[in-house]
Amino acid sequence: MTTSESVSVGSTSLLRVEGLAVRYGAAQSLFDVTIDIPVNGTLAVLGSNGAGKSTLARAVSGLVPSCGGRIVFDGKDITKWSPTRIRRAGLIHMPEGRGVFPGLTVLENLRMALTTEKGSKEECLERAFTLFPVLGQRRRQLAGTLSGGEQQMLSLARALMVSPKLVIADEMSLGLAPKLVDVVFESIGRMRDAGVAVLMIEQFASRALGFADQAIILQRGSVTWAGRADEAGEELLHAYLGGATAA
């Protein structure tokens, strides 16, 4: 079977990762990781620093190669696909950090995301400004002068403009003040409400669990717990994550 051929993973599965393993040189970072995200589903990936969360995100989005297992997205085996091809298929990785061009205006940042979009550019811009009205108010403002929360909104808007099917939100609240964390979660919630599936990697475990349908906990590159997000109580979080990361 070639990587471009469709594979059967269930009619409602959008992303299926099976037995994924990743190695950096002599050190293995992920061991036999399996996850399943349905269409319009939300998965929280939790774990302490170094647990393998961002490695999972980078492997799924094609930024690092796997040494075992497979990744199936929208019915196709994308394990060996390039990051560009994966992005064009509708899987968008939003890594830690703002992901915007600070020397360009809000409008210029959004238009850059539309260079390969086949639909109406004006319709896409209008959709972004409807979802994030503050960006419409600041469309002529340089992205580098926006607040941290506004920059994250701009990053989310850029992702939405390529009509993604699934977004990997990797530590998007990192370093933000509590009020801006609220803005980020509200913004990702708008994406979910628009029909986009979300894989969320988040330092605020309780917030992530309140957002997601399902959750996994990674420890030293392996899944140590998986289940419904509302079944992950405080006792479980403290047992696996410790008090510092369970808050």
Range of the domain at 183: 13-246
What's the confidence (pLDDT) of residue 243? 53
* CA gap 90, 81 in Å, rounded: 13
Q: Considering its fold, how many domains does the chain have in total?
A: 1
What's the confidence (pLDDT) of residue 246? 47
Cα angle for residues 181, 175, 132 (degrees, 5° grid): 40
What's the confidence (pLDDT) of residue 126? 85
Mean pLDDT for the chain overall: 86
Task: State yes or no: pLDDT of 60 exceeds 90.
Answer: yes
The CATH number of residue 148's host domain is: 3.40.50.300
What's the confidence (pLDDT) of residue 150? 86
The full DSSP string for 99-154 is -S-TTSBHHHHHHHTTTT--S-HHHHHHHHHHH-HHHHHTTTSBGGGS-HHHHHHH
Determine contact, residues 203/173, Cβ cutoff 8 Å: yes
Place of tokens 């403009």: 161
Beta carbons within 10 angstroms of residue 82's beta carbon: 11
187, part of any domain: yes
1, part of any domain: no
Cβ neighbourhood burial of 27 (10 Å; 0-12, 13-18, 19+): exposed
82, part of any domain: yes
User: What are phi and psi for residue 33, nearest 5 degrees?
Assistant: -85, 130
Global model pTM greater than 0.85: no
* CA gap 191, 227 in Å, rounded: 23
Task: State yes or no: pLDDT of 21 exceeds 80.
Answer: yes
What's the confidence (pLDDT) of residue 8? 37
211, part of any domain: yes
What's the confidence (pLDDT) of residue 97? 55
Residue-wise pLDDT tens digits, 166-185 = 999 988 777 777 877 887 78
Residue-wise pLDDT tens digits, 180-223 = 788 778 888 888 998 999 999 988 888 899 999 999 999 999 99
70, part of any domain: yes
What's the confidence (pLDDT) of residue 98? 61
3, part of any domain: no
Using left for φ > 0, alpha for ψ between -120 and 50, and beta otherwise, residue 141 falls in beta
Task: State yes or no: pLDDT of 161 exceeds 90.
Answer: no
What's the confidence (pLDDT) of residue 130? 85
5, part of any domain: no
Residue-wise pLDDT tens digits, 61-98 = 999 999 999 999 999 999 999 999 999 899 999 875 56
- In three-state secondary structure terms, 39 is coil
What's the confidence (pLDDT) of residue 18? 98
Complete edge-to-edge strand list for the sheet that includes strand 27-38: 27-38, 13-24, 68-73, 76-77
4, part of any domain: no
* CA gap 193, 198 in Å, rounded: 11
